[in-house]
Amino acid sequence: MKNFNYLLLALLLVFSSRLFAGNELGFPNKKPLVSIFKSGPYLGLQRGKYTNLEFGYEFQRKAVKLIKPTIHALNTGFDYNLTENVLGFSIGYWQKRGRLDLTYGANLVYKTDFDQTRIGIAPTLGYRISIAHLQVGANLLTKSDDFKNTNTFFVSLRVVMINNRNFKWRKRKRI
């Protein structure tokens, strides 16, 4: 558990340094003219050694820019394996910089077979097109002798059904 706390602290430091960094020239980042806030439920299928159904909710923030638009997303959800009777909960974050770039993220994962539990993190790498998000990742979970029926490596396909969309315009200074 002590190592997990150190790992969580290291991930927090890495992500917070990206949030406060300026651009490549050393100038502070300028707020985009338009920001779009989207949210909605997702339905997914996770395949690895075992097949899991995923359900959850995702919040996205998109900064509309001409060069390198960015998307940040937070999601929370659960997955269930019907054949092995394993339930999992996850809270995750991913980001995408650019129009055709990959998504990079991580999830905090909690898995249980209703007798034992395992917790950990799952770094992910993915590609997002419209409402579909394909991710590849690895569950780095705490050790267990008896509870091994979870996916270590997985491929996940999620479909996000956006039902809330808000636009926020930056106020321009009049000259």
Please give the domain boundaries of the chain with CATH numbers for all domains.
Answer: 31-169 (2.40.160)
**CB-based contact 168:66 (threshold 8 Å):** no
pLDDT range class, residue 117, cuts 50, 70, 90: very high
Question: What are the tens digits of pLDDT across the range 47-69?
Answer: 999 999 999 999 999 988 888 88
pLDDT of 107 above 90? yes
| Three-state secondary structure readout of 119-145 | EEEEEEEEEEECCEEEEEEECEECCCC
Q: Where are the alpha helices (DSSP H) in the chain?
A: 2-19
Q: Work out the angle at residue 67's Cα, subtended by the Cα atoms of residues 62 and 71, and round it to the nearest 5 degrees.
A: 20
* Residue range 69-95: mean pLDDT, rounded: 95
Contact 117, 141 (CB under 8 A): no
Which of 106, 103, 110 shows the shortest CA–CA distance to 80?
A: 110
8 A C-beta contact, residue 84 and residue 111: no
The answer, yes or no, to whether residue 7 has pLDDT greater than 80, is no
Q: How far apart are CA 65 and CA 35, in angstroms?
A: 9
Q: Which helix (H) or strand (E) holds 3?
A: helix 2-19
Widest pairwise Cα distance in the chain: 69
Phi and psi based region of residue 83 (left: phi greater than 0; alpha: psi -120 to 50; beta: remaining): alpha
Does 136 score more than 60 pLDDT?
A: yes
Q: Residue holding tokens 């991710």? A: 135
Give me the mean pLDDT over the 108-135 stretch.
95
Does the pTM surpass 0.85? The reply is: no
Predicted local distance difference test score (pLDDT) of residue 130: 87
Q: What is the pLDDT of residues 17-51, one digit of tens each?
A: 554 454 455 555 567 678 899 999 999 999 999 99
